[in-house]
Amino acid sequence: MPPPSHDIDVSEEAGVRYLHFGSDWVQGAMRIARPWNLELAYTREMMAGLLLRSPGNWPRNALLIGLGAGSLTKFIYRNLPRTHITVVEINPEVELVARFHFKLPHDPERLDIHIGDGAAFMAEDGGQYDLILVDGFDPDARAGGLDKLPFYRHCRERLTAEGLLSINLLGRSRGFAASAERLSQAFEGRSLVFPSCDSGNAIAFAAVGEPVSVTQAELKERAETIKKETGLNLLPTLTRLQAAGSLAGGNLSL
């Protein structure tokens, strides 16, 4: 499959550098003074899996479908030094732009970048991952093969017993409900869509293997520890989960 032919543009405003795919649609962002931080709210929420599994050596390995500006890749690289990272990006120019403009690190021992179609990679790869993060869209905000039932089933097959899938669903898009239903079907009901961020992005999580059951007190404790150790503030996420009624009986279960 040939790589996409769309333009790749970089802009800057008020100390923030943005990635675009030939339109005003923001595909990634980096605050120049804090290149390792997660600038966009939805990327911060995609890392909420850190709240759902016991802290320690998790995740041992992470697979990211879609590189963009490399925000999630850089955050994991910087803050989870025991995690091996694999990234699949369909457009080779995106990797070059991420390295030149967004400080993507070069470390072949910890960071593998594969150029190719994410859906095909997931169908053919035999690897197992503790954490899979999916954030892949074309210039028109279409996910294509990354939003099909076979893809979600392949994601499930690639997860370890402690595995979690985190996926960006555009909550205001017309096909959002159908996407959420496909995810639930693939994971036999073990999925949960978090309340939409202000940007309209809704992050969904799905699990296999060991059940997720975390009390509200544990979630808060973990969020405070994560904030102290990495600067990532997930406390607003907990507030929205509580307001949306996602903490049934004071627990988050998945």
Record the tokens describing residue 50, joined without a space: 């850190």
The sheet carrying 61-65 orders its strands as 111-115, 84-89, 61-65, 129-134, 159-170, 201-207, 191-193
Compute φ and ψ for 204, nearest 5 degrees.
-110, 145
At 38, the amino acid letter reads L
Distance from C-alpha of 192 to C-alpha of 205, rounded to nearest angstrom: 5
> Are residues 186 and 132 in contact, defined by beta-carbon separation less than 8 angstroms?
no
pLDDT tens string 14-66: 999 999 988 888 899 999 999 999 999 999 999 999 999 987 889 999 999 99
Record the tokens describing residue 111, joined without a space: 């960071």
> Are residues 166 and 133 in contact, defined by beta-carbon separation less than 8 angstroms?
yes
Record the tokens describing residue 74, joined without a space: 């850089």
Burial of 12 (0-12, 13-18, 19+ CB in 10 A): exposed
9-211 maps to which CATH number? 3.40.50.150
List the domain boundaries for the chain.
9-211
Predicted pLDDT at 1: 56
List all residues 6 or more positions away from 118 whose beta carbon is below 8 Å from its beta carbon: 65, 66, 88, 90, 134, 136, 145, 146
pLDDT string in tens for the chain (254-residue length):
566 667 899 999 999 999 998 888 889 999 999 999 999 999 999 999 999 998 788 999 999 999 999 999 999 999 999 999 999 999 999 999 999 999 999 999 999 999 999 999 999 988 999 999 999 876 666 777 899 999 999 999 999 999 999 999 875 667 788 999 999 999 999 999 998 877 678 899 999 999 999 999 999 999 999 999 999 999 999 998 888 888 888 899 99
DSSP helix/strand/coil, 56? coil
